[in-house]
Amino acid sequence: MFIDKSMTKKVVTVGPNDGILETRELLAKNTFRHLPVVDEENRLIGIVTDRDIRSAMPSVFLDENETLKERERLAQMKIKDIMTKNPVTVTPANTLEDAILLMQKMRVGAFPVVDREGKLRGMLSIRDLVRAFVNVLGLEEPGTLLCIKVQERVGEMKKIVDAITEEHISFGSILVSRYWEEGKRAVFPYLLTTNVAHVKRKLVEMGYELIDPMEWTLDTLPRPE
């Protein structure tokens, strides 16, 4: 899945000489957390976040005279004074998988999408990623997510798919992930039915171990270093 199919293309931007107070209002009005900063030719030169704006705001512990001075200072400050220059970006040709790994590595919530000339083409946020994967995985349709612990060997996926298909149940999607246990995998079939008791019994009788998907997520994922 390529980024250009899932990114937000109509992007609100600010310029380097825009004021901080006006930008704060723009963020609040649109419920954004990130705004790309572009020049007159729409080339990306930075990014400003709601955190950058908050950091520039006066402290609540200042007295009246100090607060007045801080407000005067803010009125003179520009976005170029607080923005992050040369932010990490992605291109329209990158995949969503690339973006997810990069978000995890950089610990950011959105990326500007730029072309080869450095011009802004869109923004890709966590919200865009969630929307894309909900669509791909068929999660908008009512169903049930199972988690099956299997041995890491050829043919296990086919056995599971065949067993479920024999029950005349349709798949919304099916994913395979590491179980974080040597020689094991976790298979996640999303079934387009809520009547899965008989399927669970069948899988257990076949020798598979079923896991609560939430328990796998909470207890098994490695913690960031």
Task: Answer whether residue 61 is part of any domain.
Answer: yes
> Which residues span the domain enclosing 154?
139-220
Residue where a domain terminates, one of 134, 159, 183: 134
The phi and psi torsions of 183 (rounded to 5 degrees) equal 80, 10
Structure tokens at 109: 């919530």
Q: Is 195 exposed, middle or buried (0-12, 13-18, 19+ CB in 10 A)?
A: exposed
Per-residue pLDDT, 197: 94
Please tell me the distance from the alpha carbon of residue 216 to that of residue 37, in angstroms, as a whole number.
40
Q: Is the pLDDT of residue 87 over 80?
A: yes
> How far is Cα of residue 158 from the mean position of the Cα atoms in its chain?
30
| pLDDT band per the 50, 70, 90 thresholds, residue 48 | very high
Place of tokens 């704060």: 24
> Which residues on adjacent β-strands are paired with residue 140?
none
Residue written as token pair 């080869």: 116
30 vs 36: CA distance, rounded Å: 14
130 or 193, higher pLDDT: 193
Domain C-terminal end among 134, 160, 181: 134
102 and 164 belong to one structural domain? no
Contact (CB, 8 A) for 60 and 135: no
**Per-residue pLDDT tens over the stretch 111-149:** 999 999 999 999 999 889 888 888 877 777 889 999 999
Report residue 90: phi and psi, to 5°: -125, 170
Q: Are 31 and 79 members of one domain?
A: yes
What is the structure's pLDDT at 131? Answer: 87
Q: Where residue 22 sits, what CATH number does that domain have?
A: 3.10.580.10
